[in-house]
Amino acid sequence: MRARLLDFLCCPGCRAPFRLEEQAREDDEILEGELVCTGCAAKYPVTGGVPRILPAQMRKDTEQSALNFGGSWERFGSLKEAYRNQFLDWIRFHSLDEEFFRGKVILDFGCGKGRHSYLASRFGAKEVIGIDVSSAVDVAYRNTRHLRSVHIIQTDIYALPLRSASFDYVFSIGVLHHLPFPEQGFRITLSMVRPGGSISIWVYGRENNGWIIYFINPIRMLTSRMPLTLLYWLSVPLALFLHALLQLVYQPVDDLLPRLGKHLFYRDYLLYISQFNFNEIHHIIVDHLTAPIAYYLRRDEVEGWFHRAGVRQVLLRWHNANSWSALCTDVQLSPEQLLHSAEIQADSKNQLPA
């Protein structure tokens, strides 16, 4: 970590600032040390260049998600050129492109291996903070360490050690639907946005995903409990089959027989991922099968998150006919309003079982 990260940090318990006690440094990078709260004296380590601001005890489902996703990102840890277009596709609306990032202070809410933090920095962001609860932060740190604008933190989003209303733009791609309380996670995310700032989210949709909910989710109940190495090898034949199907059936049929191609099963999404190589297809399968929690949300539920938090001007886009992208470019809520709403537990009756 770099010392200027302290400008964004606060104790998750009492919200007081931290004092940094260095133990090992390389140039301006603090590799080992300790963060000491100036209010309640709580202490959190900095190891391997990453602040580890985690609660003494996490929920079992959060801990399992961290273990599974951390292992997955470690195994599939490299960055690829295809991620640039994929990231922009997830967040793109008419007003949002690479230039949008220039000069902004940005929060990557659930950074995984750091691919989006890396891109935000390359697009010209002034500062980028990537947070994740899993050991994937070590991969994210390795992937972004050479970028002076990027900071990586390991933390639980339900005990976030960041000052509210500190960011010009906050995005959460593929994270909120894996939380035990997605709407509460959304409100915490929203509380990080400065008045007049922007927020983007991308989540699984309920619409068009009934086959996953009723057939794949029961399988996931088993696969999410498997050792990752076993799941990795068991999913290889499935990845080989899917990759061959995309290359030998979906792409040729869509190119040569477009009228027939319109009727292909799950056409939009499967054609979309057909651009990826085998390794990435394998990662997508492992990512889906290792998740202990996965909510699939209707359009009205996603809109409801924004409206119940007091945000009215939200743009929604049906992404690949299986998910929802949402954007608000002018959040006009006070930090007090946002922090108060973040304390409200999501209504479990309005959430779909994983």
pLDDT in tens, 145-183: 999 999 999 999 889 999 999 999 999 999 999 999 999
pLDDT over threshold 90, residue 33: yes
pLDDT over threshold 80, residue 58: no
pLDDT over threshold 90, residue 333: no
Q: How far apart are CA 118 and CA 81, in angstroms?
A: 11
pLDDT over threshold 50, residue 258: yes
Write out pLDDT tens, residues 303-329: 999 999 988 889 999 999 999 999 998
Structure token digits, residue 174: 């593929």
Which are the contacts of 277, defined by CB distance < 8 A and separation ≥ 6? Answer: none
More confident residue, 330 or 172: 172
pLDDT over threshold 90, residue 284: yes
Superfamily the domain 83-205+299-350 falls into = Vaccinia Virus protein VP39 (3.40.50.150)
The reported pTM is: 0.91
**Mode of pairing for the β-strands spanning 315-319 and 150-155:** unpaired
The rounded percent of the chain whose pLDDT value lies above 90 is 77
Give residue 61's pLDDT.
65
Could you give the 3-state DSSP secondary structure of residue 306?
helix
Average the pLDDT over 132-137 and give the result.
92
Average the pLDDT over 76-85 and give the result.
89
Instruction: Tell me if 185 sits within 8 A of 158, measured CB to CB.
Output: yes
Q: Is 218 exposed, middle or buried (0-12, 13-18, 19+ CB in 10 A)?
A: exposed
Instruction: Tell me if 45 sits within 8 A of 18, measured CB to CB.
Output: no
Write out pLDDT tens, residues 223-232: 999 998 999 9
Give residue 347's pLDDT.
38
Give residue 96's pLDDT.
81
pLDDT over threshold 80, residue 336: no
pLDDT over threshold 90, residue 346: no
Q: How far apart are CA 192 and CA 165, in angstroms?
A: 4
Q: How far apart are CA 124 and CA 46, in angstroms?
A: 27
pLDDT over threshold 60, residue 237: yes
